[in-house]
Structures are given as C-alpha cells and as structure tokens.
Chains A and B, each alone.
Chain A
C-alpha cells in the first residue's frame, strides 16, 4: 500500500490508482467526502467528478475541492451521455445498490471502463463466522446485520458468473486480504476484497 492509501485505510484505492492514467476523466459513484478522487487527482492527475447523495458527504467533498454532484446514483447517471468518462468507479458500494445489473450497465454506458470493488462474502473468515452461527463482521464488512447498508450478499465466484451472463469482459481482477495484501491463489477463499476492471465485450 502507498502511504496515501494507508492513511485512508483503503487498499483498494491503490489498485484503482494503478488503473487510471493522467488526464483521464473519472467518475466516482458514491464518492463520500471525495477521498478517492482527491487521491487520483493528486497522484495520477486525473479529471474527476463524484456522485454522492449524503448531505455530510457532499459538504465535505465541496470543502475538499471535489467536483461533487449531489444525486441518487442511478438518477445521477441518466443525465450523462454515452462514453463521457474513461473510468467509472463504484468502490465498496455495489453490495448496497438494489438494481445491480442496471447500475453496471449504466456505468459501462457512460464510461469506457468500470471499476468495481466489493467485499467477498466467501472470504474464509466470513465463512468461519457463518459456520460459528453468526453473520460476519470484519474490516471489509464493518456492520452488524441489523445496521448494514449492504443488501446484496455475493462472492467473487458469483460476480464472475454475473459478468459472464451479462457478456461483460473482466479486464483485470485484483483480490486483497483483510490486511490489504494481494491474494493470488484461491482468491474466493482467501480474498476479503475484490477489485474489478470491466469493459463491454
């Protein structure tokens, strides 16, 4: 992890940084206070915009000098034209979105590539928690079952299957454990967080 990503506690940010090029146009969906965009602008020289619905997030993002657009994710994308962005990022948010396929399709409509990160529910520690009879709570799943914003529970294998069904090309996939280290083998078992780079076939 770079110092920036460590400071933010977001190892997936490093992966995303590696996938964007200077001067690219990046749209971050659910950008919160704009941390990722700020990092990408500072370290990769991208042009960035973010969509955020939450008042506190929008306020912080404006304070951070970010081009934040206050909107619901799906409504927010409908106003953009095809291919307006090089990368459309949805980090750790897909599991909170109701219309999973629609948002992915929209991302790939307005963006050349989509970058998606999500917690892997099949991570061995999560499996252990369920084996022990409790829903998992971890670094990448930091909620109790009763207060989680997550409404879609899926695994790396599940997401691969969805991409295949939707005829979406997985250009790259990075899987991290709960310390932020890269996982090469048995990713669906040893990986806590997955980051995908997707494109239309």
Chain B
C-alpha cells in the first residue's frame, strides 16, 4: 500500500457575494473562503469529505505548499490524509478550508472591510459553529457536492462535524467527531477567557484595530498560546519530554528561561504570535465557548441530535483533559439513546488533546477501518 503525500497542494479561493446572516444577527455582506482539495470528485459526487479545522488550523490540510520546503510546509493533518492513508485520497475527494473569520486567506478580521477599505478588526462579527456550517454548505454548493460522504474534524473541527449532522442532516452521511465535546465546561471557558484577557489587555491590541497602528498584540497572543498549549498536552507527556530539566548549568536565580518547559512554551508562543491573527484567536475561542447544540432543545443533547441521519464515528484520547473521553461519551450516549449508529474508540495515548493530530497506530487503524466502510 502506498502511503505517499498528496504532493504539492495549492489553495483556491471561492467568493460569495450573497450576504450571510450570522446567528448573532450580524450580516457578512460578502466573503471569500480559501480551500484546498485532494483526490478526485467521482461522477456521482458521492466521495467528498470535508475536513473541519480546529482553533488554529486552516485549509492546508495535506501535502506541501512549497516543493522547495516539503517538510516545513506539510499540511496539519498530512499523516491522516493522502494516498493509502486512513482518509485515502485514492478513494475520497477531500476538501479542507479556512473558516470564515480565519487568518489564512478566508475573510476575517484581518481582511479589508469593503465599507472602509481598512481591515475589519474589531468590527468583524463573532461567528459561531452554526455560521461556519452555513458557510461551508455554500462552498459545498459551489463544488457541486449535495451531500458529504463524511464530515471529519478534531476538537473544534469535531464540533463542526456534529453541527453539520444537526443543521443539514440530508447533506452529511457520516460524521467523524474526534477529541471533541458537546459543549465547553466552565473550566474550558475559563481557560479561553484567560487567553482572551491576555490579548485584550495587551497595549498593542488597540481595541482590535491594531492593524492601523502597524503593530500587533504579540505579547498577549503569545501568552494566550502558551496557556492553550499547556491544555493540549498531558502531565505525563510533559514530565517525560521536559521533566525538570534545565536549559543551562544549574539555577540562575532569576526570571529568565531556566527550565526546558519554559523555553519550549516561549518558543511555541513566539512562533504562534508571529503568524496568527489575534482577532481570529479571540473569535475562535468565542466560537468554542458558544458551541452548545443542546441549548436549543432544553439542554438535551439527544433531542438535538435526534434530527441527525448520519452515522457517527466518535474518537477520544485517554490523556485528553481538555475534552476528556467522558465528554465524547456524552455524545455517544445521546446517539445510542436515539437509536442512532455510532462507533466509539477511546485511544490510549500519552499526548493529551493534541493526540488527534498525532500518528498513532490504533487511532489511524480505527479511522481507516471506518473510512473503508463508507460506500461511495
């Protein structure tokens, strides 16, 4: 079996001139979505898979964007998607997009507001998971896809897959909901708010309109990412990878980098702050906080999911404490309660929430086995 890359992937863009009314009531007059596709749409248009990204993800899911720098420019889920890989592009036509509000080419806070010509900044409305599903559905229309063979996502991406099955049940045959939760807990929201406060209180934030000041709230974004990053890892993994190891010789008795974990987190924070937009980060965390499909049905997730006709694969990871296996079981139990089809795997993994991005033998075998079942 070949397990090579989809190769050089290049982004495309779709422009939508019909205004999109958001859940909040705000209207996005027109917008662009950037996306990539891998594999070939079959004649019946029945083999399309939508990949929904998580908080910091984007449309570049598989393959490399720069043939000169293959390793550095691999897509964020390249280990999962490609010829002979668990989501096999020999069988499926895979679509990855950057969501509305993103900062990788789709219309978002850093794009120009047609009303002013300046970046939207603070004026870009908050979007929800429901809004993304609507925007993604328009992209599906544009690509001629009536129904996805599957909508697949991890974390916030898994929430979009879940929302698809509720909002547009006729347009999704399978949903793979990985390392997700049916809603955030108070603790989850608390972490998100501390991250937001780091950005919002950065003097360079300028109320979200930092672009016109030719600066960006890098310190706040860096802190937000450092905090977030801790919640994506597991205690065991951090102990194993860093322990109490020091960067230099002995203690320096100061506030510089002393422990390796400090060095690692600061590096991750700096790297992230250099390429991610602070307003998009704020928006993504709010989309997470607002996600609660059971709210509309009096708190009953089963009642919310009763509309779904898709079959489900739900996957969780043993050391994920951000969205623990128990949260995935809430989804599974609701589906079973409704008499719906669901397979659930709890993967023993030491990588915490980030496990969903890792190459794990059992995890990939499970996804592969499920994807093999999907008729196209």
Interface residues of A (CB under 8 A from B): 25, 47, 49, 55, 58-59, 61-63, 65-71, 79-81, 84
**Which B residues touch A67, using CB under 8 A?**
336, 341-343
CA distance A62 to B365 in the complex (A): 10
The chain A residue with its CB closest to the CB of B344 is A69
Does the CB pair A25–B372 fall under 8 Å? no
**Which A residues touch B336, using CB under 8 A?**
49, 67, 69, 80, 84
Interface residues of B (CB under 8 A from A): 313, 329-330, 332-333, 336-337, 339, 341-346, 348, 362, 365-366, 369-370, 372-373
Does the CB pair A68–B362 fall under 8 Å? no
The chain A residue with its CB closest to the CB of B336 is A49
With A59-B362, A79-B333 in contact, do A70 and B341 touch (Cβ < 8 Å)? no
Residue of A61, A65, A66 with most partner-chain B CB within 10 A:
A65
* A66-B343, A71-B346 known, 10 other contacts, Cβ within 8 Å: A47-B339, A58-B345, A62-B313, A63-B369, A67-B336, A67-B342, A68-B344, A69-B342, A79-B333, A84-B336
CA distance A62 to B364 in the complex (A): 13
With A55-B362, A59-B366, A70-B344 in contact, do A65 and B337 touch (Cβ < 8 Å)? no
The answer, among A47, A62, A71, A84, for a CB contact under 8 Å with B373, is A62
CA distance A71 to B333 in the complex (A): 12
The chain B residue with its CB closest to the CB of A27 is B336
- How far does the Cβ of A161 sit from chain B's closest Cβ, in whole Å? 33
CA distance A71 to B345 in the complex (A): 8
- How far does the Cβ of A157 sit from chain B's closest Cβ, in whole Å? 36
CA distance A81 to B333 in the complex (A): 9
The chain A residue with its CB closest to the CB of B342 is A67
User: What are the 5 tightest A-B residue pairs by CB atom distance, in nearest-first order?
Assistant: A79-B333, A63-B369, A69-B344, A62-B369, A70-B346
CA distance A84 to B338 in the complex (A): 9
With A70-B345, A84-B337 in contact, do A79 and B369 touch (Cβ < 8 Å)? no
CA distance A69 to B346 in the complex (A): 9
Residue of B339, B344, B346 with most partner-chain A CB within 10 A:
B344
- How far does the Cβ of B311 sit from chain A's closest Cβ, in whole Å? 9
CA distance A62 to B343 in the complex (A): 7
**Which A residues touch B346, using CB under 8 A?**
70-71
The chain B residue with its CB closest to the CB of A84 is B337
- How far does the Cβ of A112 sit from chain B's closest Cβ, in whole Å? 15
**Which B residues touch A66, using CB under 8 A?**
343
The chain B residue with its CB closest to the CB of A53 is B346
CA distance A62 to B336 in the complex (A): 16
CA distance A196 to B98 in the complex (A): 56
Residue of A49, A62, A63 with most partner-chain B CB within 10 A:
A62
Can you give 30 A-B contacts (C-beta < 8 A)? A25-B339, A47-B339, A49-B342, A55-B348, A55-B362, A58-B366, A59-B365, A59-B366, A59-B369, A62-B313, A62-B345, A62-B369, A62-B373, A63-B369, A63-B372, A63-B373, A66-B343, A67-B341, A67-B342, A69-B332, A69-B342, A69-B343, A70-B344, A70-B345, A70-B346, A71-B329, A71-B346, A79-B329, A80-B336, A80-B337
**Which A residues touch B370, using CB under 8 A?**
62
**Which B residues touch A62, using CB under 8 A?**
313, 343, 345, 366, 369-370, 373
The answer, among B341, B343, B348, for a CB contact under 8 Å with A61, is B343
- How far does the Cβ of A23 sit from chain B's closest Cβ, in whole Å? 10
- How far does the Cβ of A100 sit from chain B's closest Cβ, in whole Å? 24
**Which A residues touch B365, using CB under 8 A?**
59
CA distance A68 to B370 in the complex (A): 11
The chain B residue with its CB closest to the CB of A72 is B346
CA distance A126 to B91 in the complex (A): 53
The chain B residue with its CB closest to the CB of A75 is B329
CA distance A66 to B330 in the complex (A): 19
- How far does the Cβ of B338 sit from chain A's closest Cβ, in whole Å? 10
- How far does the Cβ of A55 sit from chain B's closest Cβ, in whole Å? 5
**Which A residues touch B339, using CB under 8 A?**
25, 47
- How far does the Cβ of A45 sit from chain B's closest Cβ, in whole Å? 14
- How far does the Cβ of B280 sit from chain A's closest Cβ, in whole Å? 35
**Which B residues touch A25, using CB under 8 A?**
339
- How far does the Cβ of B363 sit from chain A's closest Cβ, in whole Å? 10
CA distance A81 to B373 in the complex (A): 29
**Which B residues touch A81, using CB under 8 A?**
337
The chain A residue with its CB closest to the CB of B332 is A69
CA distance A69 to B333 in the complex (A): 10
**Which B residues touch A84, using CB under 8 A?**
336-337
- How far does the Cβ of A38 sit from chain B's closest Cβ, in whole Å? 13
**Which A residues touch B362, using CB under 8 A?**
55, 59
- How far does the Cβ of B339 sit from chain A's closest Cβ, in whole Å? 6
CA distance A63 to B365 in the complex (A): 10
The chain B residue with its CB closest to the CB of A48 is B341
